[in-house]
C-alpha cells in the first residue's frame, strides 16, 4: 500500500484520484465496443444476443431465457446450509426495507389539495455479475427492495456458465423472489437485451453492478431505460485511531482488496497503525485463495494515510467520498455525524463492511468513484416514481390565479395566462 503522510498530501491525493476515476470510466475503446454491441442487439434482436453470447462467453444457446424446469433443477442443487443462509439474508434485507417510509404526502390548502403519489415501476431488470464466482448476493440486494417497493415484474440477467446454464445460487434466489424471467446473458449485450426487449421481457430500469462494459452500456442506454447508478470498482475507506485492533483493520482492507480493481484505503491518526496495518494486510492477502487479486489491489490501489487528528481524518473521508466508510473507533458517532459523503457507514469495531455485503440489511449496491457526493445506496425510491398532484378549489384559484397569469405573461406565454384567466372569468373551480 502506498503511504501518504499529512492532511494536505491526503487531500491532494483525493483530488487526483477523483479525476482519474472519472477519466478511466470513459475509455474510448470501451465506449466504441459497447456502442457496436448495442446497435447489433437493436437491429438483430434475440439472434444478435445469442451470437454475442457465443462470441464473448463461448456458449451456444437456443434461446436467451432459461426454462423454469432448468431453474428449479439448479435451485435444488444448492446445499441446504447455503439455502438457509440465503433465506436469512433475504428476510433481513426485506425487514430493513419494509421499515423505509414509502408513501407520498398531502398538503391541504383551504379548499384545495396538493401532494404526491408514489407509483412503483412496472418492470425492472436486475443484473448479476459473473466472473470467477457469481455474485448472487447482488440479486437479492436489488430485487428485494424492488419487490418491497411494489415492482410487478423482475427480469434477471446473468452471464452463463461454460455449459450454458446459470449458476445454481442465482436460480435459487430468482425463484425465491418470484422473478418473472431469467436470462443467461451477460455484459453489455445483457443491458441492451433488457432495454430493447431482445429475447427477454423489456424493462423500465436496469439495476445492479457490473464490469466496465456493463457500466458503459447503462450509460449509453440511459433514456431508453433508467439506471440506478454507473458503478465502478468497489472501495472501502477505514478510518481508525489507536483504539482499533491492527488485525481487524488489516482484515477489512483485505476483504475489500479481493475484488478486482478495488481500492482499500486506511486513514488513521495512529503512526503505529499507519505502518503496521498495510504489512499485516499483505500477509493476510497472501494466504487467500484470491491472493493474486487481493495483493494486486493492495499494492497498486491501496493507500494508507496518516493525518494529524480526527478533524483531518473526517476531511479526507469527505474528500474521498467512499462507497464504504468504516469507522473503527470506540465512539464512532461524533465522527459519523460529520460525514457528508459516503455510500454507507459502518460504525464501530464489530460493524465490518463484509457483514453489510451479505445480510445486515441495507443493500450493498452503493455509489462508487466519489459519486457518494450526490447519490445514495439502492433504496425503495430507486423503484418508484413520485407523481405530484393538485386539486384546485375556487378559493385557492381566486387567491393565486392573478399572480400565476402575471408570471406567465412576464415569460411571454400568453396562452398560459389565458388558461388561468378563463377559469377566473367563469367564477368556479374548474
H-run or E-run covering 356: helix 353-358
Within a 10 A sphere around the Cβ of 97, how many other Cβ atoms? 22
Asked if pLDDT for residue 88 goes beyond 90, the answer is yes
Q: How far apart are CA 26 and CA 16, in angstroms?
A: 16
Instruction: Give the helix, strand, coil percentages of the chain, each rounded to 5.
Output: 50, 15, 35
Model confidence pLDDT, tens digit, residues 270-325: 999 999 999 999 999 999 999 999 999 999 999 999 999 999 999 999 999 999 99
**Cell numbers that stand for 63 in this block:** 434461446
Annotated catalytic residue within 324, 353, 364, 426 = 324
Cell of 361: 440489511
d(CA 243, CA 241): 5
Nearest to 372 by CA among 333, 351, 345: 345
CB neighbours of residue 287 within 10 Å: 9
Does the pLDDT value for residue 427 go beyond 80? Answer: no
Contact of 141 with 363, CB cutoff 8 Å: yes
The pLDDT assigned to 89 comes to 98
Assess whether pLDDT exceeds 80 at residue 25: no
Which grid cell is 191?
A: 443491458
Q: Give the residue, 20 or 119, on which the prediction is more confident.
A: 119
Examine the pLDDT at 426 and tell me if it is beyond 90: no
- Choose, from 323, 411, 416, 426, the residue flagged as catalytic: 323
- Give the model's pLDDT for residue 20: 82
Going along the chain from its start, the domains and CATH numbers come out as 2-25+233-360 (3.40.50.1980), 28-73+104-227 (3.40.50.1980), 392-426 (no CATH)
**Known catalytic membership, residue 324:** yes
CA dist., res. 90 & res. 145, Å (int): 10
Question: pTM for the complete prediction?
Answer: 0.93
Q: What is the pLDDT of residue 379?
A: 96
pLDDT (tens digit per residue) in 30-57? 999 999 999 999 999 999 999 999 999 9
| CA distances from residue 14 to 72, 319, 377 in whole angstroms, order as listed | 48, 6, 21
CB 185 within 8 A of CB 49: yes
With beta carbons less than 8 A apart as the criterion, state whether 62 and 344 touch: no
pLDDT tens per residue, range 351-392: 999 999 999 999 999 999 999 999 999 999 999 999 999 999
For the record, the C-alpha cell of 430 comes out as: 374548474
Round to whole Å and give the CA distance between 68 and 114: 46
Tens of pLDDT, residues 317-328: 999 999 999 999
Q: What is the pLDDT of residue 341?
A: 97
Phi, psi of 310 (to 5 degrees): -70, -30
Q: Give pLDDT, residue 19.
A: 82
Whether the predicted pLDDT of 75 surpasses 80? yes
Matching residue, cell 439474508? 89
Amino acid at each position: 500500500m502506498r503511504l501518504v503522510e499529512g492532511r494536505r498530501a491526503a487531500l491532494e491525493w483525493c483530488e487526483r484520484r477523483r479525476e482519474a476515476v472519472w477519466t478511466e470510466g470513459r475509455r474510448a475503446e470501451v465506449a466504441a465496443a459497447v456502442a457496436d454491441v448495442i446497435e447489433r442487439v437493436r437491429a438483430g434482436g434475440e439472434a444478435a444476443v445469442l451470437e454475442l453470447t457465443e462470441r464473448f462467453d463461448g456458449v451456444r444457446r437456443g434461446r436467451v431465457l432459461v426454462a423454469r424446469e432448468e431453474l428449479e433443477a439448479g435451485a435444488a442443487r444448492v446445499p441446504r446450509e447455503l439455502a438457509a443462509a440465503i433465506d436469512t439474508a433475504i428476510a433481513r434485507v426485506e425487514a430493513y426495507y419494509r421499515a423505509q417510509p414509502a408513501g407520498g404526502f398531502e398538503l391541504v390548502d383551504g379548499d384545495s389539495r396538493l401532494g404526491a403519489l408514489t407509483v412503483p415501476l412496472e418492470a425492472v431488470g436486475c443484473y448479476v455479475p459473473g466472473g470467477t464466482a457469481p455474485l448472487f448476493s447482488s440479486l437479492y440486494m436489488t430485487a428485494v427492495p424492488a419487490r418491497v417497493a411494489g415492482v410487478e415484474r423482475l427480469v434477471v440477467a446473468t452471464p452463463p456458465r461454460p455449459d450454458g446454464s446459470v449458476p445454481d445460487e442465482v436460480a435459487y434466489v430468482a425463484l425465491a423472489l418470484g422473478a418473472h424471467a431469467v436470462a443467461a446473458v451477460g455484459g453489455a449485450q445483457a443491458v441492451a437485451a433488457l432495454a430493447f426487449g431482445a429475447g427477454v421481457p423489456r424493462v423500465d430500469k436496469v439495476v445492479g453492478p457490473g464490469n466496465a462494459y456493463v457500466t458503459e452500456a447503462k450509460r449509453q442506454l440511459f433514456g431508453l431505460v433508467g439506471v440506478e447508478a454507473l458503478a465502478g470498482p468497489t472501495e472501502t475507506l477505514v478510518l481508525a485511531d489507536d483504539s482499533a485492533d491492527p488485525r481487524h483493520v488489516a482484515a477489512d482492507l483485505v476483504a475489500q482488496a479481493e475484488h478486482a480493481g478495488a481500492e482499500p484505503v486506511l486513514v488513521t491518526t495512529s503512526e503505529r497503525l499507519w505502518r503496521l496495518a498495510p504489512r499485516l494486510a499483505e500477509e493476510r492477502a497472501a494466504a487467500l485463495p484470491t491472493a493474486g487479486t487481493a495483493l494486486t489491489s493492495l499494492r497498486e490501489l491501496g493507500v494508507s494515510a496518516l493525518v494529524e487528528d480526527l478533524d483531518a481524518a473526517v476531511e479526507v473521508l469527505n474528500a474521498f467520498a467512499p462507497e464504504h466508510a468504516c469507522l473503527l473507533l470506540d465512539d464512532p458517532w461524533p465522527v459519523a455525524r460529520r460525514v457528508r459523503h459516503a455510500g454507507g457507514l459502518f460504525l464501530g469495531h464489530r460493524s465490518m463492511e463484509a457483514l453489510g455485503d451479505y445480510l445486515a440489511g441495507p443493500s450493498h449496491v452503493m455509489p462508487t468513484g466519489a459519486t457518494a457526493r450526490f447519490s445514495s445506496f439502492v433504496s425503495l425510491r430507486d423503484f418508484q416514481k413520485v407523481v405530484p398532484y393538485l386539486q384546485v378549489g375556487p378559493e385557492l384559484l381566486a387567491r393565486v390565479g392573478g399572480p400565476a397569469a402575471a408570471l406567465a405573461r412576464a415569460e411571454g406565454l400568453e396562452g398560459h395566462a389565458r388558461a388561468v384567466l378563463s377559469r377566473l372569468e367563469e367564477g368556479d373551480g374548474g
